[in-house]
Structure 1
Amino acid sequence: MYGDRGLALLAHEDQWARCAHENTVLLPGGGISLDWVAVSAPAPSRWDAERERCADPRPTPDPLCPAGITHDRWCRTWRTRPLEGCVEVTAPNDTAPAPNRPGALRRPTGIAIDGLDRLYIAESAARAVMVADLWTGRVLRRAPVQGRPVDVVARSGGMPGVFVLTTSPHRVVQLEGDRRACDLVRPLRRPCAHPDLKPARIAVLAGDVVVLWRGGYEAVVADVTGRELLDEPAATDLEGTDDGLLVVALAPGDAMRRFRMRKGSLVEEEPLAADEYDGGAVTIDPRGRVVYTTTGEPRTTQGPRAKHARTGAVTTFRLDSGRYRTRWGRIFVDACLPTGTVLRIRTLTSDEDEVEGAMPAAAPARGIPPVRDPDDTPPLPPKDAMAAVVAQPVVPRGDAGALGAVDPLVSGREWATYESGVVAPPGRYLWLRLELTGTERTSPRVRALRVERPGHALLSALPRMFSSVDEQADFLHGFLTPAEGLLHDLDTAAAERRLLVDPLTTPDEFLPWLATFAGIILDRRWPEDARRALLAEVYTLFAGRGTAAMLERMLRLYLGRDARVVERWRLRGLGGGFLGLTPDGLDSPTVAGTTRKAGMLGHFTIGGELPGAGSYERLAHRFTVLIPGCLTQEQREVVDDLIRTHKPTHTLGEICEIGNGMPLGRARIGLTAYISPPPGRSTSVVGRTRLGGGTVGTPTLASRLNETRLGRVRVG
């Protein structure tokens, strides 16, 4: 619901899968697009092949001993040369080719870098994995492996260590640096019905290990349990990501296939062009680009290589408003319409509960998710009735979707909100048919669709004569819809602006903007709740800026606990209470009295200062902030900034962390003195020891320490 009307929403992939599709596919996460087919690159001419061979005389990669490629956090490319026994390193700004020099490695194939920046190289001929540290440039060890290692891959999530794929026997082992030996993860099972395949490549897809099995004219991608995920005879390498993206490299000249792991199955996306791919290896760099090997330097893919269908359509299932004779309102579509693409919408309404001659169901060409309870899908529209409806184009809403009646469900510059209207008589049920028109290279994409139910109610504000005839009422309702929609969007935006200026309801990203109204800059080190509470009280707080109460409240908002500001000038002179005298000792001093007879409270001063020369310089314009508990380094920095920013300019302040408590006899009272019993006496607990009982004070005072108010007896 928004305002005075509701919305019929079509956005989830389960909803799109229940619609009738014609030459359309489902997008990851929901949405539709035109169907496509992969297009192979044109075969290079004999002249181009000869020129390429002369430009780089390196031998052609051996398919039985494939190369490896990976990237480090500095975006440097590490590539193995199995036939030359070396590893090449290419920085992002390097333009000169690496020297063609033989190395000491024995058939290096797979290569990977783990989360601790350690390099792992699988030496197939040596039956070992070499481990090196990229920070120090030193070789840590050469770990022997049972079997022949053919590929390595880093563990997901930046964790230390790699998975090593071996043959003879077929296993997946885990290796971590120089501290742990190889540990068996689980036995590697061969895919069913493929007895002649051997493991060739390994990847980590969404946290799970997947293996590419090859042999003869077959190639299969399966998990470690042998469950087959993809059958692609031309597959040469694969690479996966933590978010479920799988890139499968095919033979040279073919596009690279992309898949997205969704609910345990692979959903194919548009393939990527990979010119000059040599059939070696493929990887994904830290920027998310697909990089592959060539006979020369590594290259990145050149964008999608697919041929789209020119036209397609999606017919929705029946949308129910809940009331008969409902006049539907505007249609909002979140879509991406590149140049040369068109989107049109047909609308059909009805009040009949039963549908005769319904359109047959048709699944999308790609990306079909498992539909739960397909028999519960509402019926599709009558086929003949929908064909007689005239299609209406959509128009962009501009920036009205940002604060208007409908918030966009997607973000990004390529996505926009488009608008159309329901050109149909009143009816409880509504069907929509989206007709997509594109080119071979581009296709319109639709992410979400929303319909107002009911539409505006301006007809009820007009005389009945204007709506007494259905045809006239339908025309007038459609004629007033654009103007009413603009007014409705303005009213809704005004209501939402009220929420934006409320610190308790505005989104987090609007808090800095809201703080500019008060002329302050929010500290990102503050928790979000503390920043919202500060903005809610900012005008009241800044009215008392420079006072102790304002500073205490600011510290309370940030720390979540009370802090006290103690001004030192309040501690000069002696209080009326005392600690430390014995019954047969000196007399107690009086306020403003001398110390020649009684001394300073027996043997020491409790937080006070004796009047005299220099006391003004030591006490005036100075204060201490007492904070219960302990502060972290970041909290101390924030508190320092608060004190320095909001204290009077001529004053000096300091922080005193009280910690977890102050037991008498051991703790320091933050400003000037220590509290400790005389030698030979036990420690007293404040609130439980009676003054004058021989432990604290003299017998002439029959009061309790906890009954003496702070401010009269100033401790610390």
Structure 2
Amino acid sequence: MTCGPQPATFRLLDAYVGWDETPAGTEPGTGGVTGFDDPEGIRLAHAGDPEGPARSRLLPWFPDPRLAPGCGTRPWYLLVPEERLLLRSGPCGGAFAPVWPPPCDPDRLRAPVSVAARGHLLAVVDSDRVLVWDGGGARLTGVVRARGARLAALGSGGEVLVACRGGTDLRRYDPAGGFRGLLRTGVRGEILGLRTGPGRTVWLLTGDGARLRVHRGGYGVPFREAGPEELAGALRPSALTAADEDGFCRLEDTPDGPATRCHTWRGLPRATPPRPAGTHLTDGSYVTALVDSGISRCRWHRVRVDADVPPGTSVSVSLVVTEDGRYEDGDWQAAAPGAADFLVDQPPGRYLRLRLRLTGDGAATPVVRRVRLDFPRSTSADLLPPAFRQDPAADDFTERFLSLFDAALAELDRVVERYPALLDADGVPDRVLPWLAGLMGLSFESGWDARTRRALLAAAPGLYRRRGTPWALREAVRIVFGAVPVVEERTRERRWAWLGAGAGAGPAGAVLPAGTVVAEAGPGAAGLGTVRLFGRSASRFRVGGSALGAAPLRAFGDPDADPLTAHAHRFRVLLPAGAADPAALRRLVERQAPAHTAGSVRTGGAGFVVGSRSVVGVDTAFVPLPPPVLGGADTPRLGHDAVLRPGPAGARRGVGVPFACAVGVHTRVP
């Protein structure tokens, strides 16, 4: 009796659902595979270190303690402990020579164990002390007394970090040798490598006999385990390419281009380079536990393997189906070499066991991200009349034959089902964002990160609905540059007879002849005739209204429309200093502004911006004005030449504006 017709389902084997690996030792020949908790997938273990990175992989950042690689054109330093010598490479690479010639100071070093260099500073751990030199060994600047010292690193400001035997805490010293305190790391194992990085970060390489670990921490920052990828992204690797017990190799710049040169640990040229060690194991296997379908006599249908198989590697799959958990060695079904999608050709059974074998050349490893098991068998043959399925052999062939077409149609159905997900800006990969933006008529700049692009795509419907408005422009600038701008419409700066509010001045918003605008009525406002409607040179010449020579002659348009056309369709975008690149902001404003408008941008500036038209110098402060004196030869005009202020009993201090401050943009007047 088979499982009968019922909806098909599947079981995933991955880091999220679980790989259901067999307990260690229960299946012979298994092992050499790691990464069961890694979302990237399972892979061959590193050679000599099943759970952590290989020592050869970390060599460019944590070299042998006897070697201190230089950065750029700086020399390399090589310590020869048995001869108590410190060697230095020549300019542009080349051979090694003693830092101090033997006749000069043969007893400078006693029992050196490690060397470190940073910039022009040089440190050598030597017999419970650390010697620090400036100028690459030209001048001894300090002697650090540290019992059991074995490793040293030079930090920012010349600080010396020392790792001692039997402990994982780092001792801190100033360049002269003064003790500054301890840096608690809390790591386990023995410190094998010590590095300092940008931002006062500290990197440690530790080993506990079973695996290597890389840790990252710093001053006031707890240490945590980090991966090789994070190490490579934070620290620049050295030119060290290989090392063994006989010497090392490094990449050097030569007149003919980069070339690899090898040296012994005594600094002599080496003819034969070190044999490159394999990064990964060459063979590994993994067997699952019995995967339970929950269906008696279930006909398992299909196996799909999602894997990356680089050249020189392979992944082979085999499986067995059983009803009671018992099977023989000859019951295993092996998939065709390289097959990643195949049908299960096994008798019905409730349980399935899968075996993966990974092989490689040592330099690369296959990565298996996911395995999918489909059950029970469900094909389009179920839709055929029973007459086509009477012969068991023909029925099995028909099912397997139709499975080819079912698989192709299922892929098409899956694309159709997942198509709406392609329009989800938060769910698609980063590389799909430009394509999605093209569908929506958006264009991205190369400097925008994925977070900014996703935010623009999510806000696109709202931006399109209100495109061409100040709100849409402000929102676009906020998303891209992370700062809310001030959008000033230049029409508000018209100086055309804007009267104060007053009783009897007319209804609010009424337009009087010659472009005069009357505001909302209120007490104490000026009436017509008490203010100058047009400046002497602000309007064109008007017969009977302008003095000859005092106003410009303009022979186009209606003069009554001048107050309405001044600064029309013009705006300005203001941002604080340093908030955005002016060129990038200008390009964004041009794309978001309506076609009939002309916009300008301003990001901070060298001076202080008061309002929108007055600029105060950098070294200027607001101070009290002199007392206004009415009468006399130079009588001030109220509102033009003088400001009423408190009397002698009142405050007389001015308003100070700090440096690079824009009033109305950076500040707020309470």
Please report the TM-score for the alignment, with normalisation by the length of structure 1. Answer: 0.55
1:21 Cα deviation after fit: 4.3
Cα distance, 1:430 vs structure 2: 1.6
**Aligned equivalents of 2:390 and 2:157: distance in 1?**
72
Tell me how far apart the structure 2 counterparts of residues 442 and 652 of structure 1 sit (CA, whole Å): 60
Question: Who is 2:95 aligned against?
Answer: 97
Equivalent residue for 2:277, pick from 304, 312, 324: 304
Which residue, 568, 571, 578 being the options, matches 1:624? 571
- Given residue 151 of structure 1, which amino acid in structure 2 is its aligned partner? L
Match of 1:277 in 2: 245
Query: CA 1:592–1:534 in 2, change beyond 3 Å: closer, same or farther?
Result: same
Partner of 1:679, secondary structure, is: coil
Give 1:317 shift: 0.5
Deviation of 1:9 (Å): 1.1
Which residue pairs with 1:422 in the alignment? 344
How much does 1:69 deviate?
A: 0.9
The amino acid across from 2:336 in the alignment is P
The farther-off stretch of 442-451 and 538-547 is 538-547
Return the alpha-carbon distance in structure 2 between the equivalents of residues 185 and 292 of structure 1: 37
Tell me if 1:639 matches 2:561: no
Partner of 2:255: none
Aligned-pair CA distance for 1:625: 2.9
Instruction: Answer yes or no: is the 8 Å Cα contact 2:151–2:164 preserved in 1.
Output: yes
Q: 2:159, 2:402 → 1: CA distance?
A: 66
In structure 2, the residue matched to 1:613 is: 552
The match for 2:611 among 665, 669, 672 is: 669
* Cα distance per residue 1:439-493 (max 9 Å; x no partner): 8x78974534412333544233222344466665444333333332222223323
Contact 1:326/1:453 (CA < 8 Å) preserved in 2? no
For the structure 1 residues 22 and 619, does the alpha-carbon distance in structure 2 shift closer, same or farther, using more than 3 Å as the test?
farther
Structure 2 spans left out of the alignment, 5+ residues:
1-6, 37-41, 50-63, 218-226, 229-239, 253-259, 503-511, 517-525, 541-550, 555-561, 617-638, 648-670
The 1:305–1:500 alpha-carbon spacing in structure 2 relative to 1, beyond 3 Å, is closer
- The change in CA–CA distance for 1:131 and 1:16 in structure 2 (over 3 A counts) is farther
- Give 3-state SS (helix, strand or coil) of 2:580's partner: helix
The residue type equivalent to 1:106 in the other structure is L
Residue 142 of structure 1: how far off its partner (Å): 1.7
Q: Which residue of 2 aligns with 1:235?
A: none
CA distance in 2, matches of 1:240, 1:120: 27
Q: 2:143 aligns to what?
A: 143
Q: Distance in 1 between matches of 2:472 and 2:354?
A: 60
- 8 Å CA contact 2:172, 2:181 repeated in 1: no
- Please say if 1:567 is aligned against 2:490: yes
User: How many residues are matched?
Assistant: 515
Are 1:478 and 2:400 counterparts?
A: yes
C-alpha contact 1:81 1:88 (8 A) present in aligned 2: no
Tell me, yes or no, if the aligned pair for 1:153 and 1:163 is still in contact at 8 Å. Answer: yes
- Contact 2:131/2:140, CA 8 A, preserved across alignment: no
What residue is the counterpart of 2:77 in the other structure? Answer: 78
In the superposition, relative to structure 1, how do residues 14 and 471 fare at CA in structure 2: closer, same or farther (>3 Å)?
Answer: same
Where does 1:115-194 land on structure 2 (aligned, <5 Å)? 117=119, 119-124=121-126, 127-132=129-134, 141-147=141-147, 149-153=149-153, 161-165=159-163, 173-175=170-172, 178=175, 181-183=178-180, 185=182
Of 67, 78, 84, 1:69 maps to 67
Q: Secondary structure at the match of 1:22?
A: coil
Q: Distance in 2 between matches of 1:308 and 1:597?
A: 97
| 2:342 matches 1:391 | no
Aligned with 2:161: secondary structure?
strand
- Can you list the C-alpha shifts for 1:631-674, whole angstroms capped at 9, x where unaligned? 64326554333234555789653346899xxxxxx994324699
Alpha-carbon separation, structure 1, partners of 2:431 and 2:293: 35
Residue 415 (structure 2) aligns with: 493
CA distance in 1, matches of 2:424, 2:168: 60
SS at match of 1:488: helix
- CA deviation map 1:365-413 (0-9, x unaligned): xxxxxxxxxxxxxxxx4242x53234222445xxxxxxxxxxxxxxxxx
Out of 608-617 and 513-522, give the one that drifted further. 608-617
1:680 aligns with 645
- Match of 2:498, SS? coil
Report the CA distance shift for 1:297/1:344 in structure 2 as closer, same or farther (over 3 A).
same
User: What residue is the counterpart of 2:530 in the other structure?
Assistant: 598
The equivalences for 1:235-384 within 5 A come to 241-242=214-215, 277-278=245-246, 294-295=265-266, 296=268, 302-305=275-278, 313-324=285-296, 326-335=298-307, 343-350=315-322, 352=323, 355=324, 381-384=325-328
Superposed CA RMSD: 5.9
Unaligned ranges ≥5, structure 1: 39-65, 193-198, 212-220, 222-228, 232-237, 245-259, 262-271, 356-380, 397-417, 580-588, 660-665, 683-716
Q: How does 1:517-528 map to 2 (within 5 A)?
A: 517=439, 521-523=443-445, 525-526=447-448, 528=450
Q: Distance in 1 between matches of 2:159 and 2:393?
A: 73
Distance 1:160 1:443 in 2: 41
- Report the TM-score, using the length of structure 2 for normalisation: 0.58
Q: Is the 8 A contact 1:277 1:292 kept in 2?
A: no
Q: Distance in 1 between matches of 2:393 and 2:172?
A: 76
Q: Please tell me the residue identity of whatever aligns with 1:639.
A: L
Give per-residue Cα distances to partners, 1:581-612, cap 9 Å, x unaligned.
xxxxxxxx9985799952359xx99xx96665
Q: Describe how 1:398-409 pairs up with structure 2 within 5 A.
A: none
1:80–1:111: 8 Å Cα contact kept in structure 2?
yes
Change over 3 Å in CA distance of 1:526–1:125 after alignment to 2:
closer
Residues 1:519 and 1:138: Cα distance change in structure 2 (over 3 Å): farther
Output the amino acid matched with 1:174: R
CA distance, structure 1, for counterparts of residue 184 and residue 468 of structure 2? 71
Contact 1:282–1:292, Cα closer than 8 Å, also in 2: yes
Q: Residues 25 and 113 of structure 1: is their aligned pair in 2 closer, same or farther, counting only changes over 3 Å?
A: farther
Q: Is the 8 A contact 2:573 2:599 kept in 1?
A: no
* 1:460 paired residue among 382, 386, 405: 382
Q: Deviations over 1:15-40 (max 9, x none)?
A: 436375433434442335499899xx
Corresponding letter in the other structure for 1:111: V
Query: Which residue of the partner structure matches residue 431 of structure 1?
Result: 353
